[in-house]
Structure 1
Amino acid sequence: MSERPRRGAVHEHRAPSDCPVCGDRLAVTRLGCGSCGTELAGVFTSCAFCALDEAETEMLTVFLASRGNLRDLEKHLGVSYPTARLRFNQLLEKLGLAEPAEAAPTTPTREQVLAEVASGALSPDEAAALLASL
């Protein structure tokens, strides 16, 4: 038998990081206690990792669990090494931990992207996004 949530329980949802109207970064301005109802208002610094989506969080978790082994990340993602490295560099850029110029040498060629689509390692949508960035 599953446990029912207690009355007034707060369900955890991932907060959006970007404004749905203008696309700018959202600021955390209110914090609340789900237990007693206490609320704090102000402008609070948000966590850099909180802006990651579920797939990016999973990719970072796999990378850390494999002690920084990009080959393990490549296997987990089911893509080629250059694509795994590109995605990881994009993640580092999103976290503000890498220079944008670092991604340039590892960018796959158009032919590599098309070959990965043909092999099924890359979806057409992912390939379109990669090709648009070339």
Structure 2
Amino acid sequence: MYKALTRCPVCSGKLNIKRLQCDECNTVIENNFTFSKFEKLNHDQLRFVETFLQYRGNIKDVEKALGISYPTVRGKLDEINEVLGLSSKKQHEIDRKHVITKLENGEITSDEAIELLNKI
């Protein structure tokens, strides 16, 4: 079976699920259905999540199973949290403080700071 497409291959617009059908009795249900947020993850990200769950979040075991380093595991977790919209509030606060510090040190302009803060 194929993975459901979540984006239109022509215009990249968001696709909706309109019709579901039972393979057993052929019952058809038509409505507007939503995708799970996990559908946003690519194949490698899903594989990482499965491995992470398999090893119950033990980062050392995940490192060993995937042959990657601790910083890579943390990076993948941050990436997946970002895709799923689960980025920690604490990280956003750290990012804001970093932008303000750069502004205070004259490393960026006020316009650049505003642009960066709007992205956080």
If the TM-score is normalised by the length of the shorter chain, which range does it land in?
A: 0.5 to 0.7
User: In structure 1, which of residues 26, 35, 50 is the aligned counterpart of residue 15 of structure 2?
Assistant: 26
Aligned-residue Cα RMSD (Å) equals 2.4
The answer on whether the counterparts of 1:74 and 1:80 sit within 8 Å (CA) in structure 2 is yes
SS at match of 1:34: coil
The answer on whether the counterparts of 1:28 and 1:44 sit within 8 Å (CA) in structure 2 is yes
**1:53 maps to what in 2?**
42
Please say which structure displays the higher CA radius of gyration. Answer: 2
Alpha-carbon separation, structure 1, partners of 2:7 and 2:15: 5
**1:65 maps to what in 2?**
54
The answer on whether the counterparts of 1:28 and 1:46 sit within 8 Å (CA) in structure 2 is yes
> What does 1:48-127 align with in structure 2 at a 5 Å threshold?
48-99=37-88, 102=91
For these two proteins, the number of residue pairs brought into alignment is 93
The answer on whether the counterparts of 1:30 and 1:41 sit within 8 Å (CA) in structure 2 is yes
Runs of 4+ in 1 over 4 A off after TM superposition: none
% identical aligned pairs = 37
Structure whose residues are more often helix by fraction: 2
Counterparts in 2 of 1:76 and 1:24: CA distance versus 1, 3 Å: farther
